[in-house]
Amino acid sequence: MHNLRLVLLGLAACTALILGWSFLQQAARLEDSRVETADRKADAPSATDRQSTEAIEAERRAIETKLADTPDYLRFFNQLKLVFPGEYDSIMDSLAKKSLPLTEAPNADLLMSEAVRALRLSRGALAAKADTPALNHVFDMQLAMMRALSGDEDQRLCVDFLYGGASRAFFRFSAANRSLMTDMALAGLDAISDGSAKKLDRPAPNDADFQLLEKALTDKGLKKAEIDAVLDGKAADPPIDDARMCQVGQIYLQTLANLPEGPRLRIYALAVELMARS
C-alpha cells in the first residue's frame, strides 16, 4: 500500500507541522532554561518555581488577551471551547506552561500552531469517522492552501507544505493569511467534532482504489516520477523543481476530489488517521 506521504498534508498541517516545529523548539529551550535555573537554585525552589499555579494562570491570561487581539485565530479557539471545553482548558494550560518563564508577549501564530497540533494528536483520528461533507472539507481547505501558496514568491513554501516540512519562512505567509489558516484549522476541528458524533467506520483503501487514483493522475498528465513523489514520497532523479511540485500537489488533490465517493472517502479516512499519528 502506498505510504500516502502527500495526504499527510495534515489536519491543518501548515500550522501543526511547520509552525508547530518552531514552537516546540522554543519550548524545549525554555524547558532547558528552567531545568538549569532549578539546578542552580535548588536551595529555594519555592521562590523560583515558574510553574506555580499563579504563574500558569497569569500566562494563560496573557495568552487569552493576545488571542482576543487576533480575531481570526480567536474564531478557532472559541469553537474549540464550545465543542470540546475540557480539551480547550487542557490545551490552554499546556500553552501557558510551555510559554514560561514569560519573557515577552505570546506569539499568536505559535499559539495557534501548538493548539492545532495538540488537538490533532489527542482527537485527530476521530476525523476519519466524520460524515462526507466534513471529511471532504478538510481536503478542500488543503487545496485552497496549496493554491494560495502557489502564488507566493517562495515556491519552496508550497513544497514544504506538501510534505509537512518545517520552514521558518512560513511565518511570513501565515501572518499575512491568518483567515485562511483559521479556516483550515476549523475544517479539521469540524471533522473531529462530526466524527465524534457520527462514528462512521470505513474500510481501508484497497489496491483497486490506488490503481484508480494512479490512472486518474496519469490521465491528468502526471509522469510516473511525479506520481511516485506524491503517493510514496520518492525523490525523483532528476529532482522535480519546486514550482512543478506545487502544481503536481494541486493536481493530486483535485484528482482525488473527483474520484468516486467510495474510493475517495476511504483514502481520505486513512489520510486523517495517519495525520493523527504524525
277 vs 224 pLDDT, higher one? 224
Residue 47 has a pLDDT of 44
Residue 166 has a pLDDT of 57
Residue 103 has a pLDDT of 54
CB–CB of 205/260 below 8 Å? no
Residue 111 has a pLDDT of 87
Count Cβ atoms within 10 A of the Cβ of residue 6 and give its class: 0-12 exposed, 13-18 middle, 19 or more buried: buried
Q: Write out the H or E segment, with its range, that includes residue 80.
A: helix 71-83
Residue 73 has a pLDDT of 94
Mean pLDDT over 160-176 rounds to: 75
Residue 217 has pLDDT above 50, yes or no: yes
Residue spans of the domains in the chain: they are: 1-32+50-278
Residue 1 has a pLDDT of 53
Residue 234 has a pLDDT of 75
Q: What is the mean pLDDT of the chain?
A: 80
The three three-digit cell numbers of residue 41, written as one number? 537554585
pLDDT tens-digit readout, 6-55: 444 433 343 333 333 333 344 344 444 444 444 444 444 454 454 588 88
Mean pLDDT over 179-190 rounds to: 93
Q: What percent of the chain has pLDDT over 70?
A: 77
Residue 40 has a pLDDT of 44
pLDDT tens-digit readout, 92-117: 999 988 876 555 667 888 888 889 88
pTM above 0.75, yes or no: yes
| Lowest mean pLDDT, pick from 38-52, 156-170, 205-219, 243-257 | 38-52
Mean pLDDT over 166-179 rounds to: 79
50 vs 119 pLDDT, higher one? 119
Task: Give me the long-range contacts of 208-213 (CB less than 8 A, separation at least 24).
Answer: 208/263, 209/262, 209/263, 209/266, 209/267, 210/1, 210/2, 210/267, 212/259, 212/260, 212/263, 213/255, 213/256, 213/259, 213/263, 213/267
Residue 202 has pLDDT above 80, yes or no: yes
Residue 53 has a pLDDT of 84
Residue 257 has pLDDT above 70, yes or no: yes
Mean pLDDT over 74-79 rounds to: 96
- Check residue 242 and give left, alpha or beta (phi > 0: left; psi -120 to 50: alpha): alpha
Mean pLDDT over 239-243 rounds to: 90
